[in-house]
Amino acid sequence: MPLAIVAAAIGGMIALSRMGKEPQTSDPVIAAMLVDTIRPEIKSGSFTIRAQGTVSPRIETSIVSEVSGQVIWVSEQFTAGGLFRAGEELVRIDPSDYQTAVLAAEADLAAAQATLSDEQARSDAAREDFRRLFGENRQPSELTLRLPQVARAEAAVQAQQAAVARARRNLERTRIRLPFDGMVEQRGVNLGQYVSTGTKLGNAFGTERAEIRLPLSENDLAYLGISPGGTSASIDREITLVGSAAGNLAQWPARLVRSEGVIDRNTRLSYLVAEIQDPYRLADSSASAPLPIGTFVEALIPGLDASGLLLLPAQVLHEGDRVYLANTEDELEVIEVDVVRSTPREIYVRGNIEANDRIITTAIPAPIPGLKLRVREPLSDSEPMLRILPPDAEFVADSGGEDG
């Protein structure tokens, strides 16, 4: 009986297994990779070369006392940040001793002039006496006419005139002035303090113009059409400065004015100098925001013509000057491009790609041609690929810099 039961169970299982349906099979599904794409921007106009620098005064000076004495008056403008006009008095040193020196020098001058008049009269009298004694046929000697004494008296007058001028100049130096419109950077003297000749009273700089030193590589200069040590004629051009003003991005018009004419031995960079007029906007407060001394700015310099090139962000370029694009079948293609110019921020290319191509910005660990893609298009075809500020634009979207 047990063997019969086991045999019946086995037979039933075999019958049930034969009655079941065959499992359905299907081809494996290959997952498509999700990628972001952009479209190249067709460049119009010139290359934009970027350089960074710090705004510095074109005229900067230390205010030093040329006379000794006690400070008896200090202008309210003579403080850090104070503005002053050319010739405006900033500090006054006690002039009493110098006024006395002027009076003494003027008295000595009057005495010397009196001596000269006396010697001149004696000389004229000697000439007349000699004429009466010897007539017109003989000429008197210089000693007879007392000409050496007259010359000595004239020299004494000139010396006293110089002494008067020196005394008056020292008196004028008790009033400290500067010959330019400017701003006080630092004050180092106070009311009642005694100063001597050579004492530093403070620092000031001119506000009419400011300068920015811009470091540029030889490659950058080539795209500007400027050779190292180039002439002012090839350098002179309008540029745009971009920086932060009150927490917002702002821009200021400036001008390249000269090259420093040497290459830095350590960095192998050349320096161009840009100049901005009225950085504090004192003459026209309705102009752009003030640009204080010490502000770090980025300069956007127009270079050679780049019309017709395609502009892409630098991150889409891969080793071997290749870019990845999604073709019409949503498959990966690896294209080699001709890179005309590359920077840490952007690249200019030509050939092998067109303005309508979809360039992949997503990192692909294994870029195998033909890889299936799920393409995420840009928000709008009209949305610019890069926010690059042209020289005549009103706003910028990025103030980051480029090395050298």
> How big is the chain, counted in residues?
404
Kindly state the greatest CA–CA separation across the chain.
190
State pLDDT tens for residues 22-68.
556 555 556 788 999 999 988 888 898 999 999 999 999 999 999 99
Place of tokens 């001119």: 206
pLDDT band at 290 (very low <50, low <70, confident <90, very high): very high
More confident site: 247 or 54: 54
Distance of CA 58 to the CA centre of its chain: 11
The residues near 119 (Cβ < 8 Å, ≥ 6 apart) are: 146, 149, 150, 152, 153
Q: For 158-167, what is the mean pLDDT?
A: 97
What's the pLDDT score for residue 293?
A: 95
Q: Which of 59, 53, 45, 57 is nearest to 272 (CA)?
A: 53
For strands 373-376 and 33-38, give the pairing: parallel
The topology under which CATH files domain 33-45+307-376 is 2.40.420
CB 339 within 8 A of CB 349: yes
Domain boundaries, the chain: 33-45+307-376, 50-58+208-304, 60-93+174-206, 95-171
- pLDDT cut 90: percent of the chain above it: 59
Mean pLDDT check: name the lowest of 113-127, 210-224, 235-249, 281-295: 281-295
Query: How much is the mean pLDDT over the chain?
Result: 86
CB 207 within 8 A of CB 181: yes
Indicate the pTM of the whole model. 0.72
Q: Is the pLDDT reported for residue 85 higher than 60?
A: yes
Distance, CA of 208 to CA of 210 (rounded, Å): 7
Mean pLDDT check: name the lowest of 20-34, 47-61, 234-248, 352-366: 20-34
Distance, CA of 62 to CA of 184 (rounded, Å): 10
- At the top level of CATH, the class of 50-58+208-304 is mainly beta
CB 275 within 8 A of CB 237: no
State pLDDT tens for residues 175-199.
999 999 999 999 999 999 999 999 9
**60-93+174-206: which CATH architecture?**
Beta Barrel (2.40)
Q: Is the pLDDT reported for residue 87 higher than 80?
A: yes
CB 174 within 8 A of CB 158: no
Domains 50-58+208-304 and 60-93+174-206 belong to one CATH topology = no
